[in-house]
Amino acid sequence: MKKLSWILFSLLAIVAIALTACGPKAEEPAQPAATEAPAQPAATEAPAQPAAGGKQVEVFSWWTGGGEAAGLEAMIKVFKAKYPDIEFINAAVAGGAGTNARAVLASRLQAGDPPDSWQGHAGQELIGTYVAGNQIQPLNDLYESEGWLEVMPETLIPLISDNGNIYSVPVNIHRANVLWYNPKILADNNIAVPTTIDEWLAAMETLKGAGVQPLALGEQWTKMHLLETVLLGTLGPDAYNGLWTGTTDWGSPEVKVALDNYAKILTYANSDSASLSWQDAAQLVVNGDAAFNVMGDWAEGYFRELGKTPETDYGWAPVPGSVGVFQFLSDSFVLAVGAPDPEAAVAWLKIAGSKEGQEAFNPVKGSICARTDCDKALFGVYLQSAMDDWASNIVVGSLTHGVVANDSWKSEIDTALGLFIQNGDVDAFQSALVAACKASGPCK
């Protein structure tokens, strides 16, 4: 810390982190939900100051509550048993999909104060942000020593690699395009699980007529999550992929149909969505207060934490229109450039990539292992079906969770979506999406 500017930068960053840790900023409309833990390191964790000479690893994520913290704790337990002399600092910051956490992380990185390791999504988020910014270190040696190339899916390696270097350790595979439903509500209203968007719209119309809340929806990122699944469900996997590679025109009539579908689907959602977290929205389904919710399969981890029973309290299906397609994302952990304790960080990464770590984490988190050698018997009925689908379906990537678009493109899409939610103007939305692809995507 030789330079004054660096000290000032650090102070600013500390203030920024402290402000975020104290709660949402005034300009953020979506309040952290009651179900989520406060935006502070978990109370059970050790203080952030190392004992003199002691080794410690600070791991940053957004897994603080609702099924997510429990998954992380299960992996931390494996870590502590294997490395009892390394203090584990859980620097998780609350907020689904990392909405708050990623802002805190960005200020820390900018201030030269990285955690040793953090959660990043395989795909454009990792490569376009952290690799492009020289913020993370290649892990090829670790892949070699741990034999990970033999056990990690071949399809995943390119999404975490750049120029022959591998940059992260995937802990899981999540599915984004899941339609969760309340089986009793559907049975009571004689509704079959919809497989096409038209069937879904008809089902929701029937439910509305019967006085049932058709769709549960939460804060803005969950609306982007819904949007990506409706784009997939309307366009199909090839044209959906083309949105991200430049071969599908965002201004085309097909995309207009998808956006019209999206607009119609939104009319069946709860009016208080802006103030609900993903957990709040998903809970409406298992509590019998809404029929459908579209959410990634971390919702399953939450349902289990609530003590709900699969197939009785909740059912699942691919989002209508996307049968046979697995829209995926993968959480992975990185090694920071300038990690305060790189050795301890590597110890953490070894657990994150291990069979034991992944088998402890995933059945609780509601995801399947990134590794291909986990014991299927450890997983419940939903996750076993996800494993089958992952192995047999067409696989496409998620927008909201970092696979297909870089951060700037995603943020422009998010801005366009925010406006659309306010004004409902589909044509203006489509024009803004065309412009976003030109500004930051492959449509230049």
Binding positions for ligand GAL, rule: CB under 6 A: 62-63, 68, 96-98, 121, 174, 278, 296, 298, 329, 331, 401
Question: Which is nearer to ligand GAL, 121 or 371 (by Cβ)?
Answer: 121
Question: Which is nearer to ligand GAL, 302 or 429 (by Cβ)?
Answer: 302
Rounded distance, CA 228 to CA 225, Å?
5
Which class for 244: exposed (0-12), middle (13-18), buried (19 or more C-beta within 10 A)?
buried
CB 161 within 8 A of CB 371: no
Residues with Cβ within 8 Å of 417's Cβ and at least 6 positions away in sequence, in order, are 220, 223, 224, 227, 429
Closest contact distance (angstroms) between CB of 228 and ligand GAL is 12
Closest contact distance (angstroms) between CB of 175 and ligand GAL is 11
Question: Which is nearer to ligand GAL, 203 or 410 (by Cβ)?
Answer: 410
- Which residue has its beta carbon closest to ligand GAL? 96
Question: Which is nearer to ligand GAL, 191 or 364 (by Cβ)?
Answer: 364
Structure tokens at 424: 């409902």
Question: Which is nearer to ligand GAL, 76 or 204 (by Cβ)?
Answer: 76
Question: Which is nearer to ligand GAL, 62 or 382 (by Cβ)?
Answer: 62
* Chain mean position to CA 358: 17
Residues with Cβ within 8 Å of 351's Cβ and at least 6 positions away in sequence, in order, are 75, 78, 79, 82, 83, 357
Q: What is the dihedral of CA 261, 262, 263, 269, to 10 degrees?
A: 120
Closest contact distance (angstroms) between CB of 219 and ligand GAL is 11
Closest contact distance (angstroms) between CB of 428 and ligand GAL is 28
Closest contact distance (angstroms) between CB of 63 and ligand GAL is 6
Closest contact distance (angstroms) between CB of 120 and ligand GAL is 9
Closest contact distance (angstroms) between CB of 91 and ligand GAL is 15
3 state DSSP class of 26: coil
Closest CA to 107 of 238, 18, 179, 37: 18
Residues with Cβ within 8 Å of 272's Cβ and at least 6 positions away in sequence, in order, are none
Rounded distance, CA 397 to CA 122, Å?
10
Print burial letters for 173-212: b (CB count within 10 Å at least 16), e (below 16). bbbbbbbbbbbebbeeeebebbbebeebbebbebbeeeeb
Distances (CA, A) of 352 to 122, 233, 383, 399, 436: 14, 33, 19, 24, 35
Rounded distance, CA 428 to CA 442, Å?
20
Closest contact distance (angstroms) between CB of 281 and ligand GAL is 12
Structure tokens at 35: 């179900």
Question: Which is nearer to ligand GAL, 242 or 296 (by Cβ)?
Answer: 296
3 state DSSP class of 111: coil
Closest contact distance (angstroms) between CB of 68 and ligand GAL is 5
Question: Which is nearer to ligand GAL, 42 or 435 (by Cβ)?
Answer: 42
Closest contact distance (angstroms) between CB of 144 and ligand GAL is 27
Q: What is the dihedral of CA 219, 224, 226, 227, to 10 degrees?
A: 140
Beta strands in 232-350 (DSSP E): 292-294, 315-318, 325-329, 331-333
Question: Which is nearer to ligand GAL, 296 or 363 (by Cβ)?
Answer: 296
H/E stretch holding 427: helix 426-440
Closest contact distance (angstroms) between CB of 125 and ligand GAL is 9
Question: Which is nearer to ligand GAL, 98 or 242 (by Cβ)?
Answer: 98
CB 5 within 8 A of CB 13: no
Question: Which is nearer to ligand GAL, 56 or 398 (by Cβ)?
Answer: 398
